[in-house]
Amino acid sequence: MTLPYMKPLADLAERHAHGTRTRYRCGCRCLACGLANSAYVSTRASLKALGVTDYVVSAELARQHLVDLRKAGVGKRSVSAASGVRHETIAHVASGLKKHIRESTERRIMAVTVEACADGSYVDGRRTDALIDELRGEGFTLRLLSRKLGFKGRTIHFYRRPLITAKNALRVERLHQLLMEDATQALAPVKAGRRGRQPRRADAAADRRVA
């Protein structure tokens, strides 16, 4: 079954090249997609062996950190930008509404420091390159990413540079979060018994005609 906001799986699959885990999760069982998926699974397994887990934990530690950051003048939007965690999630953790988060989310929030939020400062570009590479691996071209980042060029001017501005690093964090989350949400298993409108195929076809 498909929830109304979800695109049909086949449409989503088309957007991702073979040899990507996303395409595998869309149901493709070709050799290239299978290899991409096993690479992911074995990476996760070795991270787990190293003790890097991603369990659901109490959000209290993160909430306290948000309180501390706020006292130091760092607001929720800055934390969201610096951590790549959605603003809504940050807001709900801060208000205490959200009581549990993933460890990976906790780590990202805890990694935010007051200094990291100064836009003009320079940061190591390697993490940003890794995020861009991950998106390229999912089939996004540099040209498309550049446009989505709001630049006009065919490439991302700070890609593969040792030092980049914190502002650009945040831009990429946000875009990565947005695009990867989009894919994950669309692929999330649907709870049995949940009623949703059938996807409006006629509208989807009309959209394609316009595009």
How many amino acids of this chain bind Zn ion (CB under 5 A)? 4
Window 66 to 85, contacts with Zn ion (CB under 5 A) = none
State the minimum distance, in angstroms, from the CB of residue 22 to Zn ion.
10
* The Cα angle at residue 134 between residues 132 and 139, in degrees rounded to 5: 95
Distance CA 7, CA 185 (A): 10
Question: Is residue 35 part of the contact set for Zn ion (CB under 5 A)?
Answer: no
* Interface region with Zn ion, contact rule CB under 5 A, candidates 17-25, 76-84, 133-141, 165-173: 17-25
State the minimum distance, in angstroms, from the CB of residue 18 to Zn ion.
4
Applying CB under 5 A, which of residues 1, 5, 27, 30 lies at the interface with Zn ion?
30
State the minimum distance, in angstroms, from the CB of residue 24 to Zn ion.
7
Three-state DSSP class for 182?
helix
Give residue 87's identity as a one-letter amino acid code.
Answer: H
Question: Is residue 33 part of the contact set for Zn ion (CB under 5 A)?
Answer: yes
CA distances to 38, 84, 131, 179 from 139, in Å? 18, 21, 13, 11
State the minimum distance, in angstroms, from the CB of residue 21 to Zn ion.
10
Which residues, listed in sequence order, are joined to residue 124 by a DSSP beta bridge? 163
CA-based nearest residue to 12, from 21, 73, 46: 21
Question: Is residue 36 part of the contact set for Zn ion (CB under 5 A)?
Answer: no
State the minimum distance, in angstroms, from the CB of residue 23 to Zn ion.
5
Question: Is residue 18 part of the contact set for Zn ion (CB under 5 A)?
Answer: yes
Q: Indicate the residue among 14 and 88 with the shorter CB distance to Zn ion.
A: 14
Q: Indicate the residue among 31 and 49 with the shorter CB distance to Zn ion.
A: 31
* Interface region with Zn ion, contact rule CB under 5 A, candidates 12-20, 61-69, 160-168, 172-180: 12-20
Give residue 73's identity as a one-letter amino acid code.
Answer: G
Region of 35 (left: φ > 0; alpha: ψ -120 to 50; beta: rest) is alpha
State the minimum distance, in angstroms, from the CB of residue 33 to Zn ion.
3
* Interface region with Zn ion, contact rule CB under 5 A, candidates 22-30, 90-98, 110-118, 147-155: 22-30
Question: Is residue 28 part of the contact set for Zn ion (CB under 5 A)?
Answer: yes
CA distances to 21, 22, 70, 145, 173 from 89, in Å? 25, 24, 16, 25, 15
Are the C-beta atoms of 109 and 85 separated by less than 8 Å? yes
Binding residues (CB under 5 A) for Zn ion: these are 18, 28, 30, 33
